[in-house]
Structure 1
Amino acid sequence: MTVATSVIIGIVFFHRFSAKDLWLMFVPISHADFPFAASMLIWYSLGPILAQGLAHISQAARHTLAFLLTWFTLIIPFIFAKSVWGISDANNIVWVGVLYVFGILIANGEYKWITRRWAVSTIVIGLGVAAIILRFSSITATPNLLSGRFFSIHSLNVALISFAIFGVLIQISRISFFNLNKAHWPNWFAMIAYFVSCLPIVTSFLNESFFIKENLSSLEWLLLIVIYLVVFIVLVTCLTAIFAIISRFKIFKRLIDDFPIKKFSDFTQLPQLFQKKIRDNWRILLVICNGVLFTFVQMFISSLATTSFSIEIVKNIFKTSSGPILLSTIIFTCFFWLLYSLINRFWPALLFTIGVSIFITVAEFLKISLRDEPILPADLSMVTALSEIAKMISPVIIVAASLLIIILVTASLILQKHLGGMYPQYAWKKRGLIIVLMLIFFTGGFWVNHENSLPYIVFKAFNVSSWFYDQTTGAKMNGPILQFINNLDVKIMDRPAGYSRVKIQSIMAKYDCQAKVINRKRTNSLSNQTIIFVLSESFSNPNRIPEMKVTPNPIPYLSNLEKTTDSGLMLSSGYGGGTANMEWQALTGLSISNLSPTLPTPYTQLVHQQKTAPAFTNLFDSKIAIHPFNASLYNRKQVFKKFGFNRFYYEGSKYKISYKKRLGTSPYVSDDSAYKQTMKIVNQAQSGSQFIQLSTMQNHMPYTNYYKNGKKFKITGSAFDSANASSVQTYTQGIYYTDRALKEFILELDKLDRPVTVVWYGDHLASLYKSNLMNKYPIQLHETDYFIYNNKNHKLSYTNRLVSPYSFSALALDNANSKITPYYALITKVTEDLPAMTTNPSTSQINAVNGGNVFVGQNSKLIKYKALTKKQKVLYHDYQLIQYDIVAGKQYSTKWAEQKIK
């Protein structure tokens, strides 16, 4: 019960606990957190035998034993400052046994002096004075020889003070007022004090957060010790009172009375007791075993959907997914209890639960095999199209599923008929209570991504990772059920004030007029133009990293190019990851910072459930995406299809990638090859407008000394640990090759007659730098390079301009001097008149959870919302309303946002 309390304390006060605490709840002494308890249990069991043996030896023999124990366990270790018999701490099983022998000897008349007041007073006063002297003054040049042994656990003074305290307790126990011989509370108090002090949540908190400052005065030191002691005593006293009250309840009294081991001889009956427990609880054990089995099978089958069989799959499941397996088993068991309570029939409830698990397993395998994506809550809408889905599935699978249903129904009826009397049927009150509890349990799935909520804490305790950026891997690691639940709690975006059809229509009318105003100054259309978005994986200028210097400049061409064309810094919403989020913002013109914290990855959580998903691609006749890697990450295949891309070139696609050269030993296609593939597609354009989305891979992590014969750079500073020095060198070499490839790419573009506008940007910084650097420079570590280049006009309107990726569409149209639609008039106004928006960089060090919206000025300083002008606030509200309407509202504006340039 103490361990159960630790779980409650952890949840309420620290918003965390560990799944292993649940195991400790049932077998607390099985873990190293309670070594003294384990030793105590062993010697408590052996105690009667020891007491009986010592009672039968002569008094002289007991005197001799007391003399030898005192010398070998107390005096000799004190003299030589070295313990004997491997006794290194108070938890040692040998030491606990010695203490038991001391107690038995005292009970048989040895060490009578401990009950004499003069002896106790002398010990307490003498040792107290000695301790204070040692605290105030170092009286020896070698304190390890005196104070060290004076305060060690095997020292003579500690033994004496322990004897004195024990003697005082003996005297108190004889006073009728306390009546300790019959009271149970001292036992409760001592046991709870020990367990509370050893609880993992308590020791972890003390180690992480509770330190006594250095250079305290002696008075402050003593005062803190007293305060901590009082707090601890009050806590233990309260818990003792609570447990004493609880122990009077019938259910707990029955548990205590039914505990099978009450004396040492009961240990000989353990095998029989174990067998009896299994016989009495075989039904629930059968349910649990099925839960473990089907959870494992689901994870295994999910892996087989994308990879061939390997024993490593099995190893990895048990190595990395033990927590999710346990939690999935609990969910399986709770689902069974819900059904059992509803129908009050064991076998039908169990077999129906098994049938649901089999259905989930097969459906998961088919979904991943066909679409590289697990079952998600949005798929439930497909229930209305079962006939269409059935046409896509092999008839063999449909026949097999039908046979399985028949087998399960038949088996449940047979088992119910012949074995129905082997289990109890509960009264309606108990069933009703279980139903309510199970329903409450399952509704928690709608809160798993609300930080510090109980379901959120439980998921973290069982090491369930969100894996929003790779749903398929999430299904493999967490199992399909937990990954499905992870996606239940997704609030797309808070509803802005004033949202309505009328309001959206008024905003559309406003920017219809704004588009006409802007278009009066622009002369070009997109006809026969190409716009290319180049997302350069993990690219950033290392010389802008605070506390770091790289010589010579690894990116000389880019540095010069940025001085002659529109360029600046882009605010990334990720660090070390989050590529798809920059893609999504660039392609949609929407800011991820406006979305809910429970929706960190729009590609996998949002786009598939949008009825219409407006994107920059709507403006073009030909839309091509290139990603020289597999397309399993971020659900790109389905997203790009939704965005209207005509072709998607990736490894394994039906559109073959012609250039696949890799540099050194790198596993990734080089940027030079990616640019050549892009040029090949640009040259294929005959007429009409063309858009190309290129996402490179060359500089993707890890950075493992790929370029052994490459150019070496001198990298100095304290921004990275020495362990990362080689990785930083490899990364720097990689962007050097990117710079060279970029130069050739621009030269090739300049040869074209066709107007081409390139938006080139790094998506995020590589996660190579010290974590404390993020605390000092959160915005700087979220800034990457970008430029916008046109091969015909070489426009230079600005340099060092700070923007967010949602602005790239408006900036590209401006650079190309192209007319715009009303939707992009809104994006243009947001870009020109509002500070750049991003997720709070101090809470988005990795792309896990949105950190909330912040504004950043051109000086890279945060700007508070209240500092915006009235016009800026109106513009921001317009932008929020349109974004909400598109991603979470009624989509009144989607056709308006999708219209082409007239």
Structure 2
Amino acid sequence: MKHVSNTGDRRPRLTLVIIFGIILLGAVLTYFISYGQNGVLAYTLNSTKPTKLWVVGNVLKYSMSLAADAGLIWVGAYFARRRVSMTTTIRFWMTAIISGALLVALQLALGKFNGPAAIYDQLLPVLRNAQPFITGAVLFTVLAPWLQKWLAKREWRLFGLVMLCLPLVFNRDIFILGNGGSTFGVVVLGCLGLVAGNPDVKIRWQALGLYLIGCLTIPAMGFGTTASALAILNSARFVGMLSPLTFLPAMVVVQFLIKWSLGLAAKSGTWPDRITQVTVYAIWLGALMSAGSTWRDLMAGYVEDLHRFFDQFSYLWLPLVVVTIGIVVLGVAVASLALARHTKLWQRIPEHLDVNFVVAWQRFAAQPKAAFRVLWRDYQRPIITACALFIAQWLGALAMNESWQTVENIYNPHLSVLGFTSLSLIANMLIGALILLLIHWILLALTDRYWLSLIITLALQSFIVIASRVKIFYRDEPIVPSDVAELNAGAQLLKMIPVALIVAVLVALVALIVLIIYVERHAKPTHQSFINRVAKLLIALVAGAGLFTMNHHYSYWRNLTDSANIVMANNNQLRFAQWNGPIMQFFSNLDVHAMAQPAGYSKAAIKRIVTKYQQEANVANQTRTNLAQKTTVIFNLSESFADPTRIPGVKISQDPMPHIRHLMKTNTSGSLMSFGYGGGTADMEYMSLTGLSTGNFDSTLNTPYTQLVPRLKKNPNVSNDFNYATAVHPYTGSFYNRPQVYQRFGFNKFVYLGSKYKIIDKHYLGSSPYLSDNTAYANAMRQVNARRGGQFMNLITIQNHMPFNGWYPNGVTAKTTGATLSARKQQIETYARGVHYTDEAAEAFRKQIDKLNKPVIWVFYGDHLPGIYPGITDNVLLHRTDYFVYANKYAREHGALDKQHGGVIGTNDLIALAFKQGNLKLNAYNALLTAVNEKLPAIWTKVSNSSTSSTTGIRFVKDDNMTELYPQLTASQKQLMHDYQLIQYDITAGKQYSVKDGMNQQVK
């Protein structure tokens, strides 16, 4: 019967505890949200003299502070009624850490922290002492056994009361109590709770009268201070949270609540522990969120939105905010306790660890091995996982550098890579390791095999590192998701990879399989619970899903990277990989959007632009005499062609390109700004065929052929101006998704190795594995002769493709200076000899087209420099190739123009130059490209990126090879750039209004 009675008595008391806990939590939240720092009602106290509103506001604040005091003192009273030990301290600290982690996750999902320090403040609240309520609570639980003994004596209680009265007398915070907001202030609030919770201490109910005295001091001090020409803020000196006029009435309320909740007879000395724990932690957490930086940071970006939302319910604004924050606090508190209770530390620590703080540290110092042995026993696998993944991320980032100095990092050259990565990029390494952890958790949840999951995760990281290293060696760029499309050309890729590396990879795969089998047979099984596996899988999937939106400002991963001060400017992929590791660099390229929407984009705006440039085309066509359909236009992308004599530190024995140099002097020619170095052919090809500059695109769009073209309904390009279009490439055609791209572009034929159209006159130079330029031109001539009328041809050579492995035994030689260039001497000589062969083949092709009795416009350009010039830091030089536009003899005799101004151009300018040289009539789109070519400097790369501004960071190159940014353009140039960007956005990311309006239609 006694047991039944206790159970029956427990239920109403449990209900009362819940009710009181919620009321006190509401009091804490209401006070700090209303009158704390940045409180929503603090404006009522901004006054220079006492007014009715000022008096009411201060009395209201005083009343709320008394209620908040009661809530915080009630928490201390909880510890007075239970046995406080090291167990309490450890468990409270654990819950605080988990609460901080949950708050970090919550805030990153909604906004972002102000730098990594704010995240560390949440995850390390005690060590950084950034959260005084947490630090004070931990310190209080450590000292509680002693404090409880001291405060059980009346003289100590009186001494404490006198000490708390001194700040009122001297009007100074002499004990640094921060009105209950500092670490020591929180400890004092806890001490007040110990007194209030002591059943042997009775605070007379008459102390409630102090509240009335406090209310009277407010107007009295207000009028008194202003009459004495003192600041009106001094009027609140007697009614702070640690004033006897406040905490004594609050202690009376707390004692009344305790007495009522436990029952007058106090049949059971134990509180309903679990529910009370939740309410205790919720009140502390509520104070932390509403009084600390978390509340301010979380609400700062949403206050205006909340005001607008609650505008029609203005009288409900504060209650709704309090209720909302209260629900969040309760949720975090319940989740924190639930997670903490499932940890091994919580479960294995005795319910009452009868060791005080000092003795515990003495034992730890005396027997550290035993302590670490216990730690290793309980957390062996998490420690191994954390260390392994962090080291893998760290080594991966180091591997992206080509030397031990940051020579690739233009902003901070010649720093120690080891020191820079280890000391300055800690947050970057942690986030990269977190991505690896998500992969590990997914595998662990699916397989329930720890070592299998960890080894596969590390193997995946190693594969990405090795693949990136190979690509960096040849192209100075790590791998990106679009490179996966290149697996279609797997056989050809293998030919480019050294045999030793292929053998090493195969050996490593076999060793990896053997290792996994061995470890899984000898290691202890994981034996995760089903709930644990599902939780890990869900957390990893939800968190991992954000990796696909890293470049959007609403993404919680973007919030995390912004908070860690990681600049998501992956327009320089190599530097991004060096700073963040290849795994993060790879995932940052999964989320691709074409470009930011220019201001004013609409159907009407596009219609206006189409009309404007159609009128310009009509004017230009009055003097242009030729039609594209009756002209043969050849865009000749010469693989890796760029004058090697321009490179400082390299001296070539003879001019390797005399014929092309002569063609450039006598025809329209100049420098072309490439977007790539050592690679990026498809990007140059895309710009030359579409007239669209990748400098307008978002920096996450690296390869339009694979990332953009397949998903567009229409892909306007230069071939649309002709009745027939062909592409010729004497190599495998599967690179960069070319067969599908040309099909979507509307090409009639694609000639490549393995296509249904045979490659003729196959000719190799020396031991080179690539077909020569002579072969490319032979196949081009066959196609030119195959049609009587005009056509467009995209001719792509392959002869000068890397890796330049000493294929030509004789020819041009080179002298180099400096260790880095000298190490590539053989490659430089091989490349220079290849340029010489290109020069001879180009001259032979010129003679052939001059014999034709039909107009031919030949546009010759190099797509990028070869990646054989390490240590060169002149970015313009490393991206400056050569071009010329040549009209054959028949074309010149039938209306084609002589030499025109070329200068420095972007690859997107080639269409305009070809049509100008051939004197070809324009449609509205080509008129726009002509204006861009004639009036804008060459559009180049981006130095910074923005998801909201289409002009941020765009870099231009002028004819003097000097760079400038968008703000330096003239007003008319900015208007032209805006028109150009609106059309590019409309085609690639918008509704394609311009296509429907016929901007690209043929001119008949």
TM-score by length of 2: 0.52
| Contact 2:389–2:433, Cα closer than 8 Å, also in 1 | yes
1:883 deviates by 6.1
Secondary structure of the 1:645 match is: strand
CA distance in 2 between partners of 1:385 and 1:486 (Å): 24
Q: Which residue of 2 aligns with 1:376?
A: 480
- 1:69 and 2:160 correspond: yes
* Aligned AA (1:120): L
Q: Which residue of 2 aligns with 1:538?
A: none
Q: Deviations over 1:271-309 (max 9, x none)?
A: 666643431221232122111111000000101369579
CA distance in 2 between partners of 1:644 and 1:439 (Å): 49
Select 1:194's aligned residue among 287, 302, 308: 287
Secondary structure of the 2:901 match is: strand
1:877 deviates by 11
Q: Which residue of 1 aligns with 2:469?
A: 365
Q: Which residue of 1 aligns with 2:568?
A: 466
| Contact 1:39–1:91, Cα closer than 8 Å, also in 2 | no
Rg (Cα) greater in structure:
2
Q: Which residue of 2 aligns with 1:453?
A: 555
RMSD: 6.2
* Aligned AA (2:395): V
1:178 deviates by 8.6
Structure 2 portions without partners, runs of 5+: 1-97, 305-312, 408-413, 598-612, 628-632, 634-662, 674-682, 710-734, 746-791, 798-819, 822-830, 832-837, 839-858, 889-896, 953-969
Q: Deviations over 1:144-197 (max 9, x none)?
A: 598177269698xx3321222122221232235999983526524422321222
1:96 deviates by 4.5
- 1:234 and 2:323 correspond: yes
Q: 1:825 to 1:433 in 2, by over 3 A?
A: same
- 1:414 and 2:513 correspond: no
* Aligned AA (1:401): V
| Contact 1:246–1:252, Cα closer than 8 Å, also in 2 | no
Q: Deviations over 1:80-129 (max 9, x none)?
A: 333435555634444555555555566679996x5333x422x2223223
* Aligned AA (2:391): L
CA distance in 1 between partners of 2:984 and 2:943 (Å): 26
CA distance in 1 between partners of 2:223 and 2:972 (Å): 53
Q: Which residue of 2 aligns with 1:737?
A: none
Q: Which residue of 1 aligns with 2:149?
A: 52
Greater CA deviation, 516-525 or 386-395? 516-525
TM-score by length of 1: 0.57
Q: Deviations over 1:209-265 (max 9, x none)?
A: 769xxxxxxxxxxx99x9786456424543465468768979957889627375562
- 1:283 and 2:381 correspond: yes
- 1:485 and 2:629 correspond: no
Secondary structure of the 2:416 match is: helix
* Aligned AA (1:190): I
| Contact 1:3–1:21, Cα closer than 8 Å, also in 2 | no
Q: 1:820 to 1:319 in 2, by over 3 A?
A: farther
Q: 1:603 to 1:383 in 2, by over 3 A?
A: closer
Q: Which residue of 1 aligns with 2:422?
A: 318
- 1:150 and 2:237 correspond: yes
Greater CA deviation, 380-389 or 35-44? 380-389
Q: Which residue of 2 aligns with 1:424?
A: 526
Q: Deviations over 1:345-384 (max 9, x none)?
A: 3333333332222222222222112110001112212323
Select 2:246's aligned residue among 141, 146, 161: 161
CA distance in 1 between partners of 2:539 and 2:344 (Å): 22
1:339 deviates by 3.1
Secondary structure of the 1:452 match is: coil
Select 1:29's aligned residue among 109, 120, 126: 126
CA distance in 1 between partners of 2:424 and 2:440 (Å): 26
CA distance in 2 between partners of 1:516 and 1:94 (Å): 81
Greater CA deviation, 405-414 or 135-144? 135-144
- 1:120 and 2:208 correspond: yes
Q: 1:124 to 1:328 in 2, by over 3 A?
A: same
Q: 1:150 to 1:427 in 2, by over 3 A?
A: closer
CA distance in 2 between partners of 1:11 and 1:75 (Å): 43
1:827 deviates by 2.1
CA distance in 2 between partners of 1:429 and 1:817 (Å): 71
Where do 1:238-317 residues align within 5 Å?
238-239=327-328, 242=331, 252=341, 258=347, 260=349, 262=352, 265=355, 267=357, 268=360, 275-304=373-402, 307=405, 312-317=416-421
CA distance in 1 between partners of 2:987 and 2:181 (Å): 65
Greater CA deviation, 469-478 or 37-46? 37-46
Q: 1:104 to 1:456 in 2, by over 3 A?
A: closer
Greater CA deviation, 425-434 or 159-168? 425-434
| Contact 2:693–2:907, Cα closer than 8 Å, also in 1 | yes
Q: Deviations over 1:760-811 (max 9, x none)?
A: 89xxxxxxxxxxxxxxxxxxxxxxxxxxxxxxxxxxxxxxxxxxx9996788
CA distance in 1 between partners of 2:296 and 2:912 (Å): 55
Q: 1:92 to 1:4 in 2, by over 3 A?
A: closer
Q: Which residue of 1 aligns with 2:111?
A: 14
How many residues align? The count is 648
Q: Which residue of 2 aligns with 1:82?
A: 172
CA distance in 1 between partners of 2:161 and 2:416 (Å): 56
Secondary structure of the 1:315 match is: helix
CA distance in 1 between partners of 2:287 and 2:253 (Å): 20
Secondary structure of the 1:29 match is: coil
* Aligned AA (1:530): T
Q: 1:105 to 1:522 in 2, by over 3 A?
A: closer
Q: Deviations over 1:862-887 (max 9, x none)?
A: 99xxxx9xxx9xx99998787689x9
CA distance in 2 between partners of 1:172 and 1:108 (Å): 13
1:621 deviates by 13
Secondary structure of the 2:501 match is: helix
Q: 1:411 to 1:311 in 2, by over 3 A?
A: farther
Q: Which residue of 1 aligns with 2:780?
A: none
1:394 deviates by 3.0
Q: Which residue of 2 aligns with 1:551?
A: none
Q: Deviations over 1:716-756 (max 9, x none)?
A: xxxxxxxxxxxxxxxxxxxxxxxxxxxxxxxxxxxxx9844
CA distance in 2 between partners of 1:820 and 1:831 (Å): 12
CA distance in 2 between partners of 1:313 and 1:101 (Å): 52
Secondary structure of the 2:920 match is: coil
1:482 deviates by 0.8
Q: Deviations over 1:661-717 (max 9, x none)?
A: xxxxxx979x9x99xx99xx99xx99869xxxxxxxxxxxxxxxxxxxxxxxxxxxx
* Aligned AA (1:757): H
* Aligned AA (1:147): N
* Aligned AA (1:128): C
Q: 1:605 to 1:486 in 2, by over 3 A?
A: farther
Where do 1:597-746 residues align within 5 Å?
599=701, 609=736, 611=738, 645-646=861-862
1:471 deviates by 0.4
Secondary structure of the 1:276 match is: helix
Q: Which residue of 2 aligns with 1:634?
A: none
Secondary structure of the 2:505 match is: helix
Q: 1:234 to 1:687 in 2, by over 3 A?
A: closer
Q: 1:380 to 1:596 in 2, by over 3 A?
A: same
Where do 1:720-869 residues align within 5 Å?
755-757=899-901, 819-820=919-920, 826-828=925-927, 847-849=945-947, 851=949
1:590 deviates by 2.2
Secondary structure of the 2:861 match is: coil
CA distance in 1 between partners of 2:224 and 2:912 (Å): 72
1:70 deviates by 3.6
Q: Deviations over 1:601-632 (max 9, x none)?
A: 97998799473799xx999999xxxxxxx99x
Q: 1:374 to 1:175 in 2, by over 3 A?
A: same
CA distance in 2 between partners of 1:416 and 1:255 (Å): 24
